[in-house]
Amino acid sequence: MSTTDALQDRLLDCFPSGSYALAALLRLMDIVTTTTVPTAAVECRLQPRLLLNPEFVDKHAATPETLLMLVMHELHHVLLGHTTLFPAQTPVQNFVFDSVINALISRMFPNPEHLAFLTDYYSDAEYPECLLRPAAGWCGRSAAVPPAIEALPEPERARAAALHRALYSEVGATYKEVFDVLPRLVTGKEIATIPLLGGHDPGGATEGGLDKRSPLLFDVVRGIVEAWPQPPDPIQGRSLADLILSSTTVVRQKPSKRQQLRRLIRTIAAGGGSGRVRVSADGLEPIATPIPQHGRRSVVLQALGHRPLLHEGMTSRHRRRRSARPIHVYLDVSGSMDSVRAALYGAILDCRADVHPVVHLFSTRVADVSLAELRAGVCRTTGGTNISCVAEHIAIHRIRRALIVTDGWVGTPTASVRQSLARVRLGVAYAGPSIQTRDLGDLAIRSIQIAA
């Protein structure tokens, strides 16, 4: 039976040398062998612990490759648990978590030695547990259909096959995509009998608020995972995909957002902003004066024998005028913003006179859209989030005034990103079901939270 010290040594050996900064994680987490959990679990508290069942490890994760897959599965629960996509954990929701994570780590390590952990533990002849593993012979690209799905009647067979192909395609499927389909294919009772990997109990890694419950664990694990070799759908901040997808958003315009955004825009625009932001300036203004002037009208009247009482003249006047510099809006369209995207589209359109005519949608890439496209609900997104693409876009286009609209889950800014954003007069408007302000908080001259 595996001892705690032996497992720690095996954990160090199973990760490729120097690739994952695992030493930092092991210094932070206690590695504990216990039979109180059926497989493995992470306790997210001030002193976090990685719990491993030694009997399960000896039986199902005896090799370095299979042990790596078990630990990777648990670490992904830690990283992705903060998303709070599902406020209350149910068997279906837990199944969704595991199906997406298993597909993700399979695409990261598609070798048979690694995949054996999933293919030996789950049967492709049983439904729906076959959704938790790749099909036999899967090599990272092909999407063979498991025998258990082939045996289903229509239309369930076609739906289940499409879901499995999506999970094990080069791109993968998101939580939302799986959750939209899965309840129509299986019941909670069917899923409840399937043994899932890791801990899904309240207070564990899949529960939200990890940054508050265990802030050190949150920061270290996120830093480690962001440095992992990227699969076709890299994890940056809250990323689960890197394929730009086009979709249409039904725009909801709520004037209540207009006042909040406009106030922030005017703050960022101080000294010259969008077309309707007023600034102070000196200028000439026409007046009527009794002092003779060489204006055209006066000259003509005098030539006709008339002596005009008033003449046209010009005077200098200090006044407030509208500036011509626009505010550039960067709108987060990652998956975590889906529920508020329509309201934010409407809010930006309400402020269209105060912003640049091109809005910059960002996820792990920046996609520019016109206000007309925004009004039509056009959305181009990779599904993930990476603030680096915003900093790069700002630097290339030499933008000096910008507003970022996001929920704050944009990944930890690197030194170069912080340097680029520090040169900008930057405002941040936070919106979304789960907001955090640490990543961008000290980079903005002003930030607000808007209801969306």
Query: Residue 29's closest CA among 42, 8, 3, 48?
Result: 48
What are 79-117's pLDDT values in tens digits? 665 444 455 567 787 888 888 888 888 888 888 999 999
Other beta carbons less than 10 A from residue 7's beta carbon: 19
What is the end-to-end Cα distance of the chain in Å, rounded? 53
Contacts of 236 (CB under 8 A, 6+ apart): 226, 364, 384, 385, 386, 388, 411
Q: Are residues 289 and 266 in the same domain?
A: no
Q: Are residues 301 and 338 in the same domain?
A: no
Mean of pLDDT values over 125-145: 83
Alpha-carbon distance 326 to 349, whole Å?
14
pLDDT of residue 169: 80
In angstroms, how far is CA 367 from the centroid of its own chain? 15
Mean of pLDDT values over 202-228: 59
By residue range, what is the domain housing residue 286?
Answer: 281-322
Contacts of 325 (CB under 8 A, 6+ apart): 269, 272, 273, 274, 400, 401
- The answer as to whether 193 is a domain residue is yes
Beta strand 49-52 pairing with 40-43: antiparallel
Query: Residue 434's closest CA among 407, 413, 414?
Result: 407
Q: Are residues 23 and 66 in the same domain?
A: yes
Q: Are residues 311 and 203 in the same domain?
A: no
Q: Are residues 373 and 332 in the same domain?
A: yes
Please say whether the beta carbons of 445 and 426 come within 8 A. yes
What residue spans of 20-155 are helical by DSSP H? 22-28, 54-60, 64-81, 91-108, 112-121, 147-150
- The answer as to whether 238 is a domain residue is no
What are 339-355's pLDDT values in tens digits? 788 888 888 887 887 78
Match 């030499």 to its residue by tokens.
398
The CATH number covering residue 414 comes to: 3.40.50.410
Alpha-carbon distance 201 to 81, whole Å?
12
pLDDT of residue 329: 94
DSSP-assigned states of every residue in 267-329: HHTTTS-STT-EEEEEEEEEEEESS----HHHHHHHHTT---SSEEEEEEEEEEEE--PPBEE
Beta strand 378-381 pairing with 245-248: antiparallel
Q: Are residues 294 and 391 in the same domain?
A: no
- The answer as to whether 364 is a domain residue is yes
- In the predicted model, is pLDDT for residue 185 greater than 50? yes
Alpha-carbon distance 250 to 377, whole Å?
6
Q: Are residues 65 and 203 in the same domain?
A: yes
- The answer as to whether 233 is a domain residue is no
Other beta carbons less than 10 A from residue 436's beta carbon: 19
Query: Residue 403's closest CA among 336, 340, 450?
Result: 450
Report yes or no on whether pTM surpasses 0.75.
Answer: no
Mean of pLDDT values over 414-425: 91
Tell me which of 24-33, 181-190, 232-241 is least confident: 232-241
Q: Are residues 219 and 317 in the same domain?
A: no
Total number of domains in the chain: 3
Q: Are residues 160 and 302 in the same domain?
A: no
HEC profile for 125-187? CCCCHHHHCCCCCCCCCCCCCCHHHHCCCCCHHHHHHHHHHHHCCCCCCCHHHHHHHHHHCCC
Looking at the chain, the whole-number percentage of residues with pLDDT higher than 70 is 63
Q: Are residues 287 and 401 in the same domain?
A: no
Q: Are residues 171 and 302 in the same domain?
A: no
What are 364-407's pLDDT values in tens digits? 999 999 988 998 889 998 878 889 999 999 999 999 899 999 98
Beta-strand (E) ranges in 290-438? 311-322, 328-332, 358-362, 366-370, 378-381, 401-406, 425-430
pLDDT of residue 441: 82
- The answer as to whether 13 is a domain residue is yes
Name the DSSP class of 438. Answer: T
Q: Are residues 186 and 315 in the same domain?
A: no
Kindly provide the b/e burial profile for residues 269-283, where b requires at least 16 CB atoms within 10 angstroms of the residue's own CB.
beeebbbbbeeeeee
What are 51-85's pLDDT values in tens digits? 888 899 889 988 888 988 888 888 777 766 544 44
Higher pLDDT, 48 or 258: 48
- The answer as to whether 305 is a domain residue is yes
pLDDT of residue 204: 53
pLDDT of residue 311: 66
pLDDT of residue 344: 87
- The answer as to whether 313 is a domain residue is yes
Mean of pLDDT values over 171-192: 75
- In the predicted model, is pLDDT for residue 277 greater than 50? no
- The answer as to whether 336 is a domain residue is yes
